[in-house]
């Protein structure tokens, strides 16, 4: 068991919370309860004698420092790893931000035929870069990874400028772990003719969806050794599964990221690769959906940083502070009569027309006025999406081909100085829907499209910075300064379900 004093744990998956126990006076008692509930990671809050247990491993969340010296996190390393004398890493993470290094500095890659490697900026999350290989170059990871006795999940972000469907052998290789080109001894994580391919060599799973060109996708490949099941996931949703003919037994001494020089009969159909993550276990469907679609999560616990999977920390703040009386721990306070806001940049899918999105946010308004959340892009595209109308009613709004459209919670105004949970969802089938404290309160039944900027977008919390150009004579939301507290901002690249919103509002 590993113990971290003065620390808190924030899992990325909402579903990993097992139980919260009160009247636990010492850490050992909390650890005993962890055995009872089959937990993996727990937090003991000595000051309020609380024990919180999670099924998530430490690397499935954020470990945060706290000034409370009676708070500690304890965690049990992966049993799969512990029982395995192969000394498997708990995680390998290649970010491709200008190099092939593993974040944990163990499985660093080295470029081969470096002169033709292209770095594409920014990557999926609006910063850093992604890598593009020509057919003659690749990255060699000269470090042994024994996969002969483990399950695994490999995930990544990919973008294909061109999809070649003509030749029999047309591959975009992400990662290969290949001992010899013989069945079940050669692992390929790839895309073939636009479909995800988890290949063991003639014992392969091909996904069902053909991806589009010129779009980022989250892809995940899992192999469950105990059930022999291969699975592929596209943007967090299962896209294919099968039972493999044999177990995977390839045992090479190296791995390759990018094209395979020794497979001369393959036509390379490459794309951009960003952030490959390997773990020696199965990630749950819930965890993969979160990794793919929880775009950013700002808890505002004395920090502006994104606690979600993408670290979207390209932030600007003006006249904001933290208040200790947040909805959860601390909150962001926006309370200036001049200009007070937070801005964060790097939202790819909000720039894609008709692509689903959702926002989840807690607000404690001091006045029912102004713009709470606005989305904009570098070319001047700008849509206030959550705020108040001239009557002081909570309103959501978006842009379609025919202009702005909105819907309001016009039964009553939100109570002042009280926390309310607000959620906005968008999809081409349901249009925009507004939820207050977990309940659907209104939707727009007339318009359903979303006309986006086709650029990387910026979210501004607290005001509209372009009142002279942002929906003149068209906006229902008042383009002025909001005053109040904001907590737990979550941005999703999917339409949350009523059940999920109810759960977010009930936390």
Given the rule CB under 5 A, which residues bind Ca ion?
A: 95-97, 123, 128, 274, 299-301, 326, 328-329, 487
Closest separation in Å from C-beta 96 to Ca ion: 5
Cβ nearer to Ca ion, comparing 203 with 487: 487
DSSP label of 56: S
Cβ nearer to Ca ion, comparing 236 with 326: 326
Q: What is the CB-side half-sphere exposure of residue 104 using CA atoms within 13 A?
A: 13
Closest separation in Å from C-beta 131 to Ca ion: 8
Cβ nearer to Ca ion, comparing 64 with 377: 64
Widest distance between CA atoms in the chain:
70
By C-alpha distance, which of 215, 251, 253 is closest to 235?
A: 215
Cβ nearer to Ca ion, comparing 95 with 154: 95
Q: How many residues does the chain have?
A: 507
Closest separation in Å from C-beta 304 to Ca ion: 11
Closest separation in Å from C-beta 349 to Ca ion: 17
Cβ nearer to Ca ion, comparing 7 with 249: 7
Cβ nearer to Ca ion, comparing 277 with 479: 277
Cβ nearer to Ca ion, comparing 93 with 495: 93
Residue 165 CA to residue 328 CA, distance in Å, equals 50
Closest separation in Å from C-beta 423 to Ca ion: 17
Closest separation in Å from C-beta 66 to Ca ion: 13
Give how far Cα 237 sits from Cα of 123, 159, 207, 494, Å: 22, 17, 11, 11
Long-range CB pairs of 322-326, under 8 A, 24+ apart, other chains included: 323/485, 326/300, 326/301, 326/362, 326/485, 326/487
Question: Which alpha helices (DSSP H) does 6-73 contain, by range?
Answer: 27-36
Residue 504 CA to residue 252 CA, distance in Å, equals 45
Cβ nearer to Ca ion, comparing 123 with 207: 123
DSSP label of 15: G
Closest separation in Å from C-beta 468 to Ca ion: 33
In 32-128, the DSSP E strands lie at 41-45, 50-54, 61-65, 71-75, 92-94, 110-112, 118-120
Q: Does residue 403 come out as left (phi exceeding 0), alpha (psi in the -120 to 50 range) or beta?
A: left
Decide: 276 and 93 in contact? Cβ < 8 Å: yes
Q: What is the CB-side half-sphere exposure of residue 292 using CA atoms within 13 A?
A: 27
Q: Which residues contact 367 (CB under 8 A, 6 or more apart)?
A: 416, 482, 483, 484
Question: Which alpha helices (DSSP H) does 338-456 contain, by range?
Answer: none
Closest separation in Å from C-beta 297 to Ca ion: 11
Closest separation in Å from C-beta 287 to Ca ion: 20
Cβ nearer to Ca ion, comparing 464 with 504: 504
Q: Is the dihedral of CA 177, 182, 184, 185 positive or negative?
A: negative
Closest separation in Å from C-beta 440 to Ca ion: 25
Cβ nearer to Ca ion, comparing 223 with 419: 419
Closest separation in Å from C-beta 361 to Ca ion: 11
Q: What do you get for the CA distance between the two ends of the chain, in Å?
A: 28
Residue 138 CA to residue 175 CA, distance in Å, equals 10
Closest separation in Å from C-beta 61 to Ca ion: 15
Residue 233 has phi, psi (to 5 degrees) of: -125, 135
Cβ nearer to Ca ion, comparing 249 with 305: 305
Residue 481 CA to residue 465 CA, distance in Å, equals 9
- Report whether the peptide linkage leading into residue 113 is cis, meaning its omega lies within 30 degrees of zero: no
Cβ nearer to Ca ion, comparing 96 with 159: 96
For β-strands 403-409 and 294-298, DSSP reports them as unpaired
Q: Is the dihedral of CA 476, 478, 479, 485 positive or negative?
A: negative
């Amino acid at each position: 068991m590993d113990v971290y004093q003065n620390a808190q744990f924030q899992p990325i998956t909402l579903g990993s919370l097992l139980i919260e126990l009160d009247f636990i006076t010492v850490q050992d008692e909390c650890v005993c309860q962890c055995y009872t509930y089959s937990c993996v990671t727990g937090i003991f809050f000595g000051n309020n004698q609380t024990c919180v247990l999670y099924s998530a491993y430490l690397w499935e969340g954020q470990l945060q420092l706290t000034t409370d010296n009676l708070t500690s996190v304890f965690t049990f390393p992966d049993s799969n790893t512990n029982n395995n004398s192969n000394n498997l890493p708990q995680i390998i993470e290649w970010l491709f931000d200008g190099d092939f290094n593993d974040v944990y500095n163990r499985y660093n890659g080295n470029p081969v035929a470096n002169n033709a490697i292209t770095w594409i900026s920014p990557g999926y999350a609006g910063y850093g870069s992604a890598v593009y290989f020509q057919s003659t170059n690749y990255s060699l990871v000269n470090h042994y990874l024994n996969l002969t006795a483990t399950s695994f999940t490999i995930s990544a972000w990919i973008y294909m400028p061109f999809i070649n469907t003509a030749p029999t052998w047309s591959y975009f290789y992400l990662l290969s772990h290949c001992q010899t080109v013989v069945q079940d001894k050669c692992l390929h994580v790839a895309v073939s003719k636009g479909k995800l391919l988890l290949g063991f060599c003639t014992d392969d799973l091909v996904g069902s969806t053909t991806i589009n060109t010129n779009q980022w996708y989250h892809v995940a490949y899992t192999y469950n050794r105990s059930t022999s099941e291969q699975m592929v996931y596209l943007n967090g949703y299962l896209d294919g599964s099968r039972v493999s003919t044999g177990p995977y037994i390839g045992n090479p001494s190296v791995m390759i990221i990018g094209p395979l020089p020794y497979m001369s009969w393959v036509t390379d159909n490459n794309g951009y690769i960003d952030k490959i993550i390997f773990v020696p276990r199965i990630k749950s469907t819930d965890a993969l959906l979160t990794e793919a679609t929880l775009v950013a999560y700002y808890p505002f616990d004395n920090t502006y940083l994104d606690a979600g999977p993408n670290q979207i920390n390209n932030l600007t703040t003006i006249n904001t502070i933290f208040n200790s009386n947040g909805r959860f721990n601390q909150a962001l306070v926006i309370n200036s009569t001049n200009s007070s806001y937070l801005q964060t940049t790097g939202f790819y899918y909000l720039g894609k027309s008709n692509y689903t999105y959702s926002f989840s946010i807690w607000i404690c308004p001091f006045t029912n006025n102004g713009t709470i959340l606005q989305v904009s892009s570098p070319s001047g595209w700008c849509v206030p999406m959550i705020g108040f109308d001239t009557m002081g009613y909570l309103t959501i709004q978006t842009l379609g081909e025919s202009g702005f459209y909105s819907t309001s919670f016009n039964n009553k105004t939100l109570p002042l100085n009280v926390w309310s949970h607000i959620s906005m969802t968008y999809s081409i089938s349901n249009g925009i829907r507004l939820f207050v404290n977990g309940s659907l309160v209104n939707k727009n039944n007339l318009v359903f499209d979303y006309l986006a900027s086709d650029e990387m977008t910026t979210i501004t919390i607290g005001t509209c910075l372009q009142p002279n150009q942002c929906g003149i004579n068209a906006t229902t939301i008042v383009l002025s300064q909001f005053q109040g507290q904001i907590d737990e901002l979550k941005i999703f690249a999917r339409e949350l379900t009523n059940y999920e919103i109810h759960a977010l509002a009930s936390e």
